[in-house]
Every structure is written in C-alpha cells, then in structure tokens.
C-alpha cells in the first residue's frame, strides 16, 4: 500500500508549487529589469549611469563574482559559479517541493528565483548585470540587482525561520 501511495503522491505540494511560482516571479522581474537597463536605457558600458534621485541611480556594473561583487572570477571560475547557482537552485527546488511552512516557502522561493536569474546572466553574458546603485546614501557602496535582493531577503527570512524553530524547540525542552 505504501508503494501505491508513494506512486500517486504529487511531486510538489501546493505550497511547494507556490515556492516555484514565487521563484518564477522573481526570475521574470529580474530579467525584465536587466533587459530594460541594457536595451531600454541602453546602459551597456561599465559606469554608465542614469541619476534618478540624489541618493539613487541606475549604474551599469558587470559583476563577475557572486552577490555584491564578492569572489570575482572568470574563466573556469565563471563556469563553476554557473554550475553552483543552477545546482543550488535545483537542490533547493527539490527540497521545498514537499514543505508547507510559509516562511520556508517564501524564503526558498526568493533564493531559487535569484539564483536562476543571476545564473542566466553569467551563462549568457559572462557576468551578472548589476544596476541598482544607492551609493548616494553614503553608507551602501554596492551596486546590485533584483536577484541579489531576492537572495538576501530569502536568506534573512530563512535565518529567521531557523531561529524561530530553534527557539520553539528550546521552549519545548525547557518546559
């Protein structure tokens, strides 16, 4: 009976599908904004800029590293990052497929979408298109994109999820 139940169990729970739906929305928003910057605003050269507000501009950066330009690499490193990004996205998508916790669903959906968005850039262009520049604030010098934002927010929510789960577990064992 267990084999029969396992055979007819859906591959993804409804919540797992929501994570993939969120990942798709992040991916679409990320790629659409990058295309808009590259071809709509015609910002293709490093350093080209459109000032929007005194503290915010759209500034073209070709990021060959991971989020916020960390661990810059090209050549073989580029392909290792591509494999890592798509591998992580696939692994997380496989993990989230049966999960039901809303915090977990949202956090992992954001991470999946961001990883695929930046992976597509690296695969297609050899670098990630970064353009959101809040350098005018004086305290945030990095230029980033929608995918970077989604990954960072997703990781923060994931940490929150695990901290809350750990606190709940400690509360059970203390009582």
**pLDDT (tens digit per residue) in 150-164:** 999 999 999 999 998
Q: What is the mean pLDDT of residues 38-66?
A: 91
The b-or-e profile of 133-155 (16+ CB within 10 A means b, else e) is: bbeeeeeeebbbbbbbbbbbbbe
pLDDT at 113 exceeding the cut of 60: yes
Specify whether the backbone of 37 is left (phi greater than 0), alpha (psi in -120 to 50) or beta.
Answer: alpha
> In the predicted model, what is the mean pLDDT of the chain?
88
The pTM score is: 0.85
pLDDT for the residue 131? 96
pLDDT tens digits, residue range 30-41? 999 999 999 999
74 classed as catalytic:
no
Confidence category of residue 145, pLDDT binned at 50, 70, 90: very high
Q: What residue spans define the domains of the chain? A: 12-168
Q: Which of 74, 130, 133, 166 is catalytic?
A: 130
Q: Which of 30, 121, 133, 148 is catalytic?
A: 148
């Amino acid at each position: 009976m267990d084999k029969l139940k396992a055979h007819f169990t859906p591959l993804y729970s409804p919540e797992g599908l929501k994570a993939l739906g969120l990942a798709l929305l992040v991916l679409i928003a990320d790629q659409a904004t990058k295309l808009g910057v590259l071809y709509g605003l015609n910002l293709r050269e490093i350093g080209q800029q459109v000032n929007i507000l005194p503290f915010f501009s759209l500034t073209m950066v070709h990021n060959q590293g991971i989020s916020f330009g960390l661990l810059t690499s090209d050549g073989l490193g580029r392909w290792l990052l591509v494999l890592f990004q798509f591998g992580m996205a696939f692994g997380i998508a496989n993990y989230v497929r049966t999960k039901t916790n809303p915090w977990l669903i949202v956090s992992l959906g954001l991470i999946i979408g961001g990883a695929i968005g930046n992976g597509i850039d690296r695969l297609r262009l050899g670098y990630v298109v970064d353009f959101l520049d809040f350098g005018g604030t004086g305290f945030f010098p990095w230029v980033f994109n929608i995918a970077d934002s989604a990954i960072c927010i997703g990781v923060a929510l994931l940490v929150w999820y695990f901290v809350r789960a750990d606190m709940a577990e400690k509360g059970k064992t203390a009582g």
